[in-house]
Amino acid sequence: MVDTITVVGNVASPPEGGRTATGIETLTFRLASNHRRQDPRTGAWIDAGTNFYTVRAYRWLAENAAASLNKGDSVLVTGRLKLREWSTPEGKRGLAVEIEADSIGPDLRWGRSTFRRVSHQVPPEPERGGGSSTAATETVEQDREPVSVGAGSSAQDDWAPSDGDTPF
């Protein structure tokens, strides 16, 4: 069974890139989701706890998120929820809460962003039947000018779709 979850929060650790043993690009960061509630007696808003998640992204989503995210950014993350029990030789035990991200985007309640589509390369097809291959690496999409989402946007606020494909 797959549990899909969407969490709104802040990037709580510097995003760390890497690669799997098979060369797939990865990105990992901690996400803090703060909860607030209104105190019925005073009417003031008070903190009601924070949930922390480890977010993992792969392939083009990892590449685009690494170029776009910084610690402290307000984001929305949608993906598959994974709960993993852990223990240490000293007897400590715990539960790791992870999200394998399908999509990551900025929370536009707190700022403005500029969308910039990136092009990705398709690997050349291998030669078949002894024939010569004239297929060179081709570009799937042309680089396009950034599309401004709001006045005052800056390149520092850029982000891109999760897997480089058109999200619509």
* Domain coverage including residue 49: 4-159
What's the mean pLDDT in 15-39?
94
- Does residue 126 lie within any of the structural domains? yes
CB 32 within 8 A of CB 45: no
- Does residue 47 lie within any of the structural domains? yes
Q: What is the CATH number of the domain that holds 94?
A: 2.40.50.140
Share of the chain above pLDDT 90, in %: 57
Tell me: pLDDT of 155 over 60: no
3-state secondary structure of 58: strand
What's the mean pLDDT in 154-165?
44
Tell me: pLDDT of 164 over 50: no
Q: Compute the distance between CA of residue 73 and CA of residue 156 in angstroms, rounded to an integer.
A: 11
- Does residue 164 lie within any of the structural domains? no
Q: What pLDDT is stored for residue 47 in this prediction?
A: 87
- Does residue 83 lie within any of the structural domains? yes
Q: What pLDDT is stored for residue 128 in this prediction?
A: 56
- Does residue 109 lie within any of the structural domains? yes
User: pLDDT by residue (tens digit) across 57-107?
Assistant: 999 999 999 999 999 999 999 999 999 999 999 999 999 999 999 999 999
Q: Compute the distance between CA of residue 59 and CA of residue 66 in angstroms, rounded to an integer.
A: 11
Look at the chain and report how many structural domains it folds into.
Answer: 1
* Residue 71 CA to its chain's centroid (Å): 13
- The CA-atom distances, in angstroms, between 139 and each of 6, 36, 121 are 32, 46, 5
> How much is the mean pLDDT over the chain?
79
* Residue 119 CA to its chain's centroid (Å): 18
- Does residue 151 lie within any of the structural domains? yes
Q: What pLDDT is stored for residue 129 in this prediction?
A: 52
pLDDT category at 122 given cuts 50, 70, 90 is low
Q: What pLDDT is stored for residue 117 in this prediction?
A: 83
Q: Compute the distance between CA of residue 93 and CA of residue 90 in angstroms, rounded to an integer.
A: 9
Tell me: pLDDT of 140 over 50: no
